[in-house]
A and B are shown apart, each in its own frame.
Chain A
């Protein structure tokens, strides 16, 4: 399981960075999304994966057993997903807007900000 996740995370990071280096605006956003998902999975992986051990204290016990699934990474991932959802929604609208205003989706054509006034 861990090995599989490691491979997937590596692929997501690699694909994300590759997509970000392309000239197309849409691919840029896809790259960012892939990177974000990779980071979320990384949190999940590094929170130590445990199978079938929910962090629930049985009514007869006072403490959690030795091994239990850490709930904190899941809370972190949930927060990160919600945040990146908002940011990505904004970024997609921005790309659409940029395409309308600049009339191209080629990043190399977007150099109005470097022009001398």
Chain B
């Protein structure tokens, strides 16, 4: 049962990061190592998913200490699917960085930190120990702090202040929750906790702990009313960094919510109502926030919040169909949000601005590129058969099955808001005749870049767009996988048995 290879996606990223630090001064070697490393990491995570899918849950007990005494790593289908998505987004952003990250930032260690961030994300997905999850979260946030501030522009620093404060606060709340949980149960192993929490008689205290977890993870995944740091910081760093943040950082919070609220705390009527109300307000505030923004990257930032609401709504409905929908949407959202930030960066390279008022006539000037960019934009709206449609369909089916009219209404409303926002973005940026923009001296425009850099930027967008299309057209396969994951989440006996033996 003890399969040490499941931590390979984590260890390998650490290995790449160390290797990158040895070639600190030569930027070309760093780029080469980063891209090949990400490619190998992708292969590793595909192998992991295949193995888990055919042979069942894989376990690693660190140091050979039997659960629940040591730290356990668990690769079930959910974890390994998310590790695969992390590797996909990591590869795309790594290639994109080759084209778009300035040499000054590479000199300050952009690539090593980037791989440490990916390592933290993979670790958070694979761990089966609640305190270890906290440690991975800290690795993620410290790497993201460095990435957010690297370059040190004024907006970056100001955004970072808000981001750092809220994330540190979230960590403290998370740690408090772990402390209380340990006091209640005397265990940190998530499978063991699942059994022990169910036996506690003082349900009031259990609910308080659950709410502390909800607040801690809620800040990290930008849930209403704890999302204000996100639109204040995600548009400040270079687009490659925004892409990895937008694609993965909030989603690791959603993963933690899905995991903790199915395995450890089974929401009672009160808690699922709270989650549902939060989801509804998240959808509304994200959607309405995006309506009034003019900066393209801020629009996408608010859309992240809006769509976090969809996933939370799936959790709030709490049926295996709705959770399957949330997981499908999670898969789709990681790919599309990463891609959208990269698209916005590419548009910036052509036009030198993110302001939608100043942008325009992109379709006239670059028709082929515009068609490529249409793929992530319309996937996000969820026009069938593109990828966004299927996740929402499952959530709606789940909600209708449970006759949960509120969720149905607000998910549909959120979809309409998204449609309206994307249509506005499309007409402002691509169709409208834009004004002549003055050349800005400090920006290196797309046409001044070397051909390799240009191909890297377009290639990575093409790669993720193809994956998006693959999710849309191969929806049956992804749907089967999500339903399987959701069923395993709703009935965690398999997970518990795999970790604890019998």
Contacts and interface: CB of A to CB of B under 8 A. Distances in A.
Given A42-B179, A76-B131, A94-B157, A117 B354 contact: yes
A28 B165 contact: yes
Interface residues of B, number: 42
A117 B293 CA distance: 10
A86 B175 CA distance: 16
A73 interface: yes
B175 A79 contact: no
A113 B154 CA distance: 9
A64 interface: no
Contacts of B179: 39, 42-43, 46
Given A32-B172, A42-B176, A72 B188 contact: yes
A20 B145 CA distance: 19
Nearest to A110: B158
B152 interface: yes
Contact of B169 (A20, A70, A101, A110): A20
Contacts of A113: 155, 158-159, 162, 232-233, 235-236
A89 B158 CA distance: 17
Residue with the greatest number of chain B CB neighbours at <10 A, chosen from A20, A35, A48: A35
A72 B65 CA distance: 14
Contacts of B160: 94, 98
A39 B155 contact: no
Contacts of A48: 183
Interface in A62-117: 70, 72-73, 76, 79-80, 83, 86-87, 90-91, 94-95, 97-98, 101-102, 107, 110-114, 116-117
B169 A35 contact: yes
Given A94-B164, A114-B232, A47 B182 contact: yes
Contact of B157 (A39, A97, A107): A97
Contacts of A87: 138, 141-142, 145, 168, 171
Contacts, number: 106
A1 B281 CA distance: 44
A83 B171 CA distance: 11
Contacts of B165: 20, 28, 32
B158 A102 contact: yes
Interface string B166-196: 0011011001101110110010100000000
A38 B165 CA distance: 17
Nearest to B232: A113
Where chain B touches its partner, the secondary structure class is helix
B58 to A, nearest CB: 26
Nearest to B139: A83
B47 interface: no
A102 B353 contact: no
Nearest to A36: B172
A71 to B, nearest CB: 12
Nearest to A76: B131
Interface in B313-367: 353-355
B459 to A, nearest CB: 28
A94 B149 CA distance: 9
Contacts of A70: 186
Contact of A43 (B135, B162, B175, B236): B175
Contacts of B355: 116-117
Contacts of B176: 39, 42
Contact of B164 (A38, A86, A91): A91
B161 interface: yes
Interface string A26-54: 00100010011011101101111000000
B334 to A, nearest CB: 25
A113 B134 CA distance: 29
A80 B175 CA distance: 8
A46 B236 CA distance: 41
B427 interface: no
A20 B235 CA distance: 24
Residue with the greatest number of chain A CB neighbours at <10 A, chosen from B131, B135, B165: B165
A116 B168 contact: no
B294 interface: yes
B135 A79 contact: yes
A94 B176 CA distance: 25
B169 A39 contact: no
B180 A97 contact: no
Given A87-B142, A101-B152, A102-B158, 9 more contacts: A39-B176, A42-B179, A72-B188, A79-B131, A79-B135, A86-B142, A101-B157, A102-B154, A117-B295
11 contacts: A20-B165, A32-B169, A36-B168, A43-B175, A70-B186, A87-B138, A87-B171, A94-B149, A97-B152, A107-B161, A116-B295
Interface of B: 131, 134-135, 138, 141-142, 145-146, 149, 152, 154-155, 157-162, 164-165, 168-169, 171-172, 175-176, 178-180, 182-183, 186, 188, 232-233, 235-236, 294-295, 353-355
